[in-house]
Amino acid sequence: MTQIIRNLFAYPTFFLFQQVARRASLFLTILIATSAVFLFSDYISDRLPGTLWNMSGDISSGEAEEIVSEVVIEKGDTLSTVLKKQNLSTSEIQNLIKAASTETLLSKLNIGQVLKFYYDVELVEQEESGLVEERLILGRMSIKIDTVRSVEFVRNGDNFVTHNISAPLKKLISKYESTINTSLIASLQETGISTSTIIKLVNAYSHQIDFQRQIKTGDKIVVITEKFVTSDNEFSHHGKILHASLTSAGTDYNIYLYSPSGKEGDVEFFSEEGQSIKSSLLKTPIDVVRISGHFGYRKKHPIHGYGAMHKGLDFAASTGTPIYAAGDGEVQFAGWKSGYGRFVLVKHKNGLSTAYAHASKFANNLKVGSKVKQGDIIAYVGRTGHATGPHLHYEVRVNGKQVNPIEFKSTPSIKLSGSKLSKFNEFKKQVHNLNKKLNSKIELTAAEVPSIKLY
């Protein structure tokens, strides 16, 4: 037995034993390390359920690892519920919610909104065992508001500091064309123009066009507008409408955004003749809706049943739709008036006044003597008084007598003449040249049209 042991530890045999032991140890080390990676992956998946994660940073260069967790807001999600799913500590959740409460943009999370959590991997060595433990520490959180804006919450000790970030935007000049099929709004939407721009356009033309009676299938419209995109050419929003041309029944209605004084704050739309399209009264003191009752004699009143003169226009609209002052003036009456229900009477210049009936409520602080500007909200559509459904009854009065609002000829607020008209005509030529350069596939940067001074 003694001899066997001596032979076992003889140099060649012992050397072989050492090599086997070393290789076995190396194999076990690799096996343990591989298992640790898979276990850590499972740990991350369990710790950040339902999220996307990845590691960034070059491990060999010694840069820190970062794990990114992305959450897309779904119905019923709140910031609190999202944070709890990240397995953050109570104090971290409270600090993040407190920081978010100071941001008005984050008063409510919207479905589809994206939140990202950026975790740093921290290595902590246990004093007793000497083992190394990996911990996830939230370094920052970002919430995307829209294509341009986002808010970041960056760790600062135990608290988080907010940073508002805005992506740089590039301004383009774009052209949109459409032939009207069913309606002006639907046709414009098909071109890709934003809803807010369509509303601006309709409001601008409301001084010239009766959308209920004039617009027909086959009419055409061209719109040139500012368009803002991100550095990745992602659409952000439309800016000012620079020019529009609406062709209806063979007549062209052209409008140009222009400032006679050359100041940005003094811009408004002018007609082909150099007259401000902002007239003394709006054609319709309400967003585009259906005319449900015309001016004139009715053989049968819808409520009383007998024949009577209808001394205004009725615009059918849902309860709560804003009613705008048709022109600048002073409120002469705001209260309840017999069959009119809640009623507003506004006095304008030169013996002109306008009346608004059946409102559900008045605008805040509206009272007799209030000064109003054209386009100010004065009341909201309702069905008070003698009304079978929610609508606005609108009257135009000249020296106290009701006239047909459709036939009433209002006057432009500005008429260019002399050198000012000459400058405007030169401006029009530049716009027409720009129109020729643009089409649905060609857009120009603002720098490529320096000759056109928009204001």
Residue 11 lies in a domain: no
Q: Residue 299: its pLDDT value, please? A: 57
Q: Residues 326-347: what's their mean pLDDT?
A: 93
Q: Are residues 267 and 344 in the same domain?
A: no
Q: Are residues 345 and 383 in the same domain?
A: yes
Q: What is the C-alpha radius of gyration for the chain, rounded to an integer number of angstroms?
A: 35
- pTM for this model (two decimals): 0.55
Residue 178 lies in a domain: yes
In which band, very low, low, confident or very high, does the pLDDT at 19 lie, cut at 50, 70 and 90? very low
Integer Cα distance of 406 and 403 in angstroms: 9
Q: Are residues 225 and 317 in the same domain?
A: no
**Count of domains in the chain?**
3
The boundaries of the domain holding residue 336 are: 290-403
The type of residue at 370 is S
In which band, very low, low, confident or very high, does the pLDDT at 267 lie, cut at 50, 70 and 90? confident
Q: Are residues 62 and 135 in the same domain?
A: yes
pLDDT at 148 over 50: yes
Q: Are residues 274 and 307 in the same domain?
A: no
Q: Residues 373-390: what's their mean pLDDT?
A: 90
User: Which residue, 166, 198, 218, sits at the end of a domain?
Assistant: 166
Residue 254 backbone phi and psi in degrees, to 5:
-100, 140
Residue 284 lies in a domain: no
CATH assignment at residue 360: 2.70.70.10
Q: Are residues 162 and 236 in the same domain?
A: no
Q: Are residues 205 and 269 in the same domain?
A: yes
Q: Are residues 191 and 226 in the same domain?
A: yes
CB contact at 8 A, 282 and 296: no
Q: Residue 343: its pLDDT value, please? A: 95
**Chain segment 278-320, per-residue pLDDT in tens:** 777 887 888 756 676 675 655 555 555 555 677 888 888 889 9
CATH assignment at residue 126: 3.10.450.350
User: CA distances (Å), 132 to each of 37, 124, 185, 386, 426, in order?
Assistant: 13, 6, 65, 81, 77
Q: Residue 212: its pLDDT value, please? A: 65
More confident residue, 6 or 94: 94
CA torsion, ordered 90, 94, 100, 102, to nearest 10 deg = -170
pLDDT at 243 over 90: yes
User: Do strands 132-144 and 290-293 pair parallel, antiparallel, or not at all (unpaired)?
Assistant: unpaired
